Every structure is written in structure tokens, then in C-alpha cells.
A and B are shown apart, each in its own frame.
Chain A
Amino acid sequence: MSATTTTAPEVRLRGAAVPTALTLLVVLACWQVAVPLLDIPVYVLPSPTAILAHADWSAIVSASGSTSVGVVLGFVAGNLLGFVLAGLIAWSAAAASVLYPIGLSLRSVPIIALAPFITLAVGRGVSATTTVAGLIVFFPTLVNVLAGFRSVEREALELMRVLNASKRDVFVRVQLPAALPLFFDALKIAAPTSVLGVMTAEWVIGGHGLGQLILTESLALNGETMWGGIVASAVIAGLAFTLVSLAERLLIPWAGDQ
């Protein structure tokens, strides 16, 4: 028995894909049947086939593009910031005493309350939505990664001491890898959160993304396109989450077997 018996990531994904697809089909079917049965007005909830046939898909695709850019940039920026700050805090007590209170106070401000300020500072559009998404995902990542750095057992640190390892070696060879599972947990939380952040910002600040589209289409009582936008946002969030999970399985296969 050699150790290379782990299931390949694709195989495991495919295994989960079948029940997921089935569930989705059942939900769609119920939806399709329920709308005419309950006589729901089309501007509130059109049936899936009506959405498919009558939504303004070119507008939805273009809005999805704009939203995705904000999601990706905000996701990267916020997580990078959270990771680096957690690293600095774990590395040096001095950095911790300065940075942690700053992080905490930033946390206690509802980010969306900063929207007017953010618009003044970076302008409207993608720069603003990116900033909001980044700020929203940053703190949970900071907390998780910090917990990761601190999750190293005492005996592992004692082992490094017996080996007369430098502080840098302890950090790079023990603390950093030990933090990765919790970092990926944070990324999985951050993926849908950053979609939420971007869309909320679009709603409040404006721009060309899905948040704005859903708002205007609902006001115009255009249920099909509004629902098309909602479905598109769910797809973006799901896709982001799936990509992170896939990256996790590829990059830290050892963590799944704990």
C-alpha cells in the first residue's frame, strides 16, 4: 500500500455533480409548475422557461461581466490584504499591537455606510465596487488566517527549537503551511461574500453591474430580466466557490485527509 490512493479531485467532483444536478432539476420543475398553478404575476416571479425566453440576455451578460470584474478584483485584493496583515500580526507582536486594533475598528464600520466616502475617494464604477467587496471579505480572512498561524501545536514549535530553526524557518516551514487550510476556508466564505459586496455596492452606488440591473428591471416591472440577473449572480457566486474548492483540492490535498 503506497500512499497515492487519494481520489483525484475531478472524480470526487463528478461524484457530487450527479445528485446536485438532480436536485436542481427537481427545483426547476416545481418552479415551472407552481407559477401558473398559483397564478403568480410575471413581474414577481416568471417561470424558468419564461425567463429563458424573454429575459434580455445581452444586457445580463454584459452586466455579469462588469460584476465579475469587481468580484475577482475585490476577492483578490481583500484576501491578499487579510492574508498579509495576518502574517504580519503573527510574525511580530509589535505589528500585532498596531494592526489588530485598526483591523477591528475597520470591522465595526458597516462597510456600506462608507459607500459615499468610497465614491468620493475612488470614483464610481468598478473601482468602487472592488473597494467595497475587498473591505467586506478582508476581515473574515484576517481572522481565519491568523487562527491558522496560531493553530500550530506546541510540540511542533518545540521540535523546531530542538532543530535550532530560525524564526523565518519556523514561519515558512511550519506556520505558513499550517495556516493554509483555514485560509482556504476563508476563501470559500469570501467567494459568495464578494459577489454580495459588489452587488450591494452597485445597488447603492450605481454602475453597470447586476446589482444595478436587477434594481432597474424590478422598478420597470420586467420580471424576466430581473430574474435572469438574479440567476446570473447565483451562477457567479457558485462558480467562484467551485473554483476555490477545486484550487483547495489541488493545492493542499493533504488537508482533506485530516
Chain B
Amino acid sequence: MAGTDAIRADAVSKTFTIGKESFQALGEVSLEIPERTFATFIGPSGCGKSTLLRILADVIAPTSGEVSVFGRSAAQAREERDFGFVFQDPVLLPWRSALANVELPMQLNGIDKAERRARALELLDLVGLQGFEKALPAKLSGGMARRVAIARALTLGPRVLFLDEPFNGLDEIRRQNMNAELQRIWLETRTTTVLVTHNVSEAVFLSDRVFVMGRNPGRIMAQLEIDLPRPRTIETMTSPEFVEYDRELTALLRTAYEDAEP
């Protein structure tokens, strides 16, 4: 997976100020994510994973430090609509059908109706939701809503896809199915992807590179390359290599948790 870096963060920090209280959510974080890599942030809750993801996508500004995306600032990249973002909550607009929700980014981009409809149908197909085009979000299960959110994030062919705990709250089997599906989509598109999770086997299953984060302040404590052949399958998950990665990552994560406890 050599090549240019898609994302570089240079000594990025974030301090939230509420009234007179200020709270350092992120210490100085530096990282590189090469193009076409599937990268994952894992760590205890409250360690700043979502904050870091928001900063990389220029949803919020860092207090200090810099982010560059394919050689430009994150702000420029966002303005050129380089990003797809799936939030922890699917945030579908409840008055729009699944199809119309997927069409939203294209509509904002002035793509004409026929074209965006065709593309949205294609993407709903890709995430396995054919037949649910007309469904309102209230009629979709949690897993289906997340898949709509993923389809929506893919519409403009983003150069970077951000996924903030997209499968949180799904039971283990559904999560595994969604992981397999996400890997399939990723293999088709090879979009540089940054995932947030606190599930170890999900991280190993999906990632090329895992960043283990710790707390107080949020920072990157370790980095692990996962060198397993793709496509990875349910069988892969029982292979000795996978089990070893799982064990190693669990140990790293355990350190991050211990470090975080007072």
C-alpha cells in the first residue's frame, strides 16, 4: 500500500472551552494515512476519536496544528467535496425516502434529477437495499439506516470516507455481516477510509492500519499494520494470523485503558 499520503495530521490538538472551563480533548496528534488505505482509530470512549475524525474532515477546526488532504488543507478538500462522512447516528432526514436521502449530496451539487436518481439506485443496490428505495427512515431498521448513510456518503465518489462507529449497537452477527459488506464495497471502490470503532476484531478484520488511542489528553499510543490477504472472510477470523493480531491489538488497547484510568 505504498504511494502518496491521503491524509497527514501535524501536531493537531483540540481544546474545548465551555464558559470559563476548558478541556483538552486532543493532545498533539500526528499521523499519516496513505492513499487507498483502510485506517482505524480504536480506543476507550472519550479519548477523542470522534473529535479527531471531525478535525480531519474539517467539520471542526483544530486548536493548533495542521491537516492536509492530498496536499491541500482539509478545508479546501472539504469545499471541493472530497469527503464522505458517516456519523455514529445515521442522521437520515426523516421526511426523505431512502432514495431521496442518498440523492441529497448530488442534489446539493446541482446534479440533474435523472442522473442522481440512477446513481442513487446503483448505490442502494451496492449496500444491499434494493426494494427499499421508497421507505421512509422511520420504517428502516437500525442496520438498514446505517447502510443508507453509507450509500449517501459514497454518492459523490469521495476521495476519503470517514466512518464514526457506524455499526455501534448492532448485534455481533449483524456487525460481522456489515463488516463483510463494507469490505466488499471498499474492495470495489478502494476509497481511502478512516473508521472509528472500539471493537477489536472489527478493526483487525477491516483495517490495513490501526491507530490505538489513549486518554487525558487524547493521543495516539500505538500503531499496528494488519497484513492479512483480502478478501478477509469468516474463516480468516479463525486463522492463527488473525487471532494473533487480535491478541496483539487487545493487549495494546488494554494498555490504553489502564493508562486512562486514574
Contact = CB atoms under 8 A, between A and B. Distances in A.
B51 interface: no
Nearest to B155: A163
Q: How big is chain B's contact interface, by range?
A: 20 to 34
Nearest to B106: A163
Chain A residues touching B, range: 20 to 34
Interface in B71-88: 78-81, 83-85, 87-88
A155 interface: yes
Given A3-B139, A163-B104, A254 B95 contact: yes
Contacts of A177: 93, 95
A150 to B, nearest CB: 16
B59 A257 contact: no
B105 A158 contact: no
Interface string A172-196: 0110010010000000000000000
A163 B81 CA distance: 6
A4 interface: yes
Interface in A4-49: 4-5
A51 to B, nearest CB: 45
B87 A164 contact: no
**Chain B interface secondary structure, helix, strand, loop or mixed?**
loop
B139 A257 contact: yes
Given A158-B87, A162-B83, A163-B105, A4 B134 contact: yes
Interface string A143-164: 0000000000101101101111
A174 B92 CA distance: 10
Contacts of B139: 3, 5, 257
B138 A165 contact: no
A2 interface: yes
Interface string A209-229: 000000000000000000000
B2 interface: no
A9 to B, nearest CB: 16
Given A173-B104, A254-B94, A162 B85 contact: yes
B119 interface: no
Interface of B: 54, 57, 59, 78-81, 83-85, 87-89, 91, 93-95, 97, 104-105, 107-108, 131-132, 134-136, 138-139
29 contacts: A2-B134, A2-B135, A3-B132, A3-B134, A4-B134, A153-B89, A155-B88, A155-B91, A156-B91, A156-B93, A158-B54, A158-B85, A158-B87, A159-B91, A161-B59, A161-B78, A162-B59, A162-B85, A163-B108, A164-B79, A164-B81, A164-B108, A173-B93, A173-B107, A252-B95, A254-B136, A254-B138, A257-B139, A258-B94
Interface of A: 2-5, 153, 155-156, 158-159, 161-165, 169, 173-174, 177, 180, 252, 254-255, 257-258
List of 4 A-B pairs having minimum Cβ-Cβ separation, nearest first: A3-B135, A257-B138, A162-B85, A3-B139
Given A162-B59, A180-B95, 18 more contacts: A2-B135, A3-B132, A3-B135, A3-B139, A5-B139, A153-B89, A156-B91, A158-B87, A159-B87, A162-B83, A173-B93, A173-B107, A252-B95, A254-B136, A254-B138, A255-B95, A257-B138, A258-B94
